[in-house]
Copies of this chain bind each other. A is one copy, B any other.
Amino acid sequence: MELLTTNNVWMMICTALVFFMHTGFAFLEVGLTRQKNTINILFKNIFIITVGLLLYCLVGFNLMYPGDFNGFLGFAGFGLDAEAALDLTYSEGYTYWTDFLFQGMFAATAATIVSGAVAERMKLGAFMIFTVIYVALIYPIAGSWHWGGGFLSELGFYDFAGSTLVHSVGGWAALVAVSLLGARKGKFDKNGKSLVILGHNIPLATAGVLILWLGWFGFNGGSVLSADPALTSLVLVTTCLAAAAGGIASFIFSNILYKNFDLTMFLNGVLGGLVGITAGADQMSPTDAILIGAIAGVLIVLAVALIDKLKLDDPVGAIAVHLACGIWGTLAVGIFGELAGWEQFSTQLIGVASYALICIVSSYLIFFTLKKTSGIRVSEKEELEGLDLHEHEMNAYADFRMNEH
């Protein structure tokens, strides 16, 4: 009972920290885009966390953790189970309520990743419909395959805190959405050369990354599912070292390639390191963690360049951070983890491929249907003048004079 109390305290704090990540995402996305779309991004962020929790309560939790099931799809019924909630032997690590809330905070994250990638040009209504379907159905069904005890956990696939189950699940949908949406006006010139569209509030973007790093204390630390002192503290150390190594590697590599001191790349390197360590944060030594983070940092620089080459327009770098480093982190478990080796590596590959399949297919279906019906992209005029004016009739900074551009 005393141990349950302590464990549960830790899990509740981790839940609060993961909740706080939504402030980090909001700051990051707002900061790296233009002021004329700020209200729209904030609106999406608030929508995601509120509707996400309600949907996870209504269907998500019981889709993701259906109990005994066929390994691909199960459902334990609508709403929460008040009887399970009374049973304090539900788990040694947390109560039923904590379990629901911690997992619920994760659920909304996947949609948030997409939010950043489609910023500045996607219709609000279409995005809200996507969010509802993805958070209510796709994220929890995909999650059940491993964390719910489904076929991938039977196979031995391992993803500690969600390099794949959360970050890639968001990242794949971001990739599909960005492909179907097309680039923002002015992102590529008529020769196809990528132009820089500057973010409008870099202090908020930087604070967003620091808040996300803080949130990762809970994201990874809580994924131990108890306050086990050796394991939770190891996880915090590997998480922080990977973040630090990711940032430094990104900064140095981009400095070598481009001879600059690029803050945005530094920040994305930190996030890449965090995403990269997430699949194996409980299995790595400090040296492993630094290596995994550093490789993620280098990968970010390459992925950003590649995505640009492919004429994909991802304003906040979400695909490089969450998809590329999510895949890398998942594979790294097969290289550095406890059961490292060809067998584990190929199982990790199977996992990555399975999630690619469900996420690409489902998000393509959703976005394609929306494109053919309501449309997914705002008008050229609306894009030019900003979504804040047209979708919200508001201005994020009413008192400040803006540059005309």
Q: Which residues of A contact B (CB under 8 A)?
A: 2-10, 12-13, 15-17, 19-20, 22-23, 26-27, 30, 34-36, 38-39, 42-43, 45-47, 49-54, 57, 79-80, 82, 85-86, 88, 94-98, 100-101, 104, 124, 198-204, 206-207, 209-211, 213-214, 217, 221, 227-230, 232-234, 236-237, 240-241, 243-245, 247-248, 251, 260-264, 266-267, 270, 285-287, 290, 391-403, 405
A213 proximity list for chain B (CB < 8 A): 19
Q: How many copies, total?
A: 3
- Residues of chain B lying within 8 A (CB to CB) of residue A211: 23
Contact B54 A245 (CB under 8 A): yes
Which residues from chain B contact A201 at a C-beta distance below 8 Å?
203, 396-397
Chain A interface mostly helix, strand, loop or mixed?
helix
Partner of A2, one of B2, B15, B51, B96: B2
Question: Which 10 A-B pairs have CB atoms at the shortest separation, nearest pair first?
Answer: A198-B398, A97-B233, A200-B399, A8-B229, A50-B244, A50-B247, A35-B399, A98-B233, A53-B244, A202-B396
Closest approach, in angstroms, between the C-beta of A230 and any C-beta of chain B? 6
Q: List 13 A-B contacts (CB under 8 A).
A: A2-B2, A3-B5, A5-B7, A8-B227, A12-B233, A19-B213, A19-B214, A22-B210, A34-B399, A39-B263, A98-B233, A202-B396, A261-B392
- Residue with the greatest number of chain B CB neighbours at <10 A, chosen from A3, A201, A203: A203
A88 to B229, CA, bound (A): 8
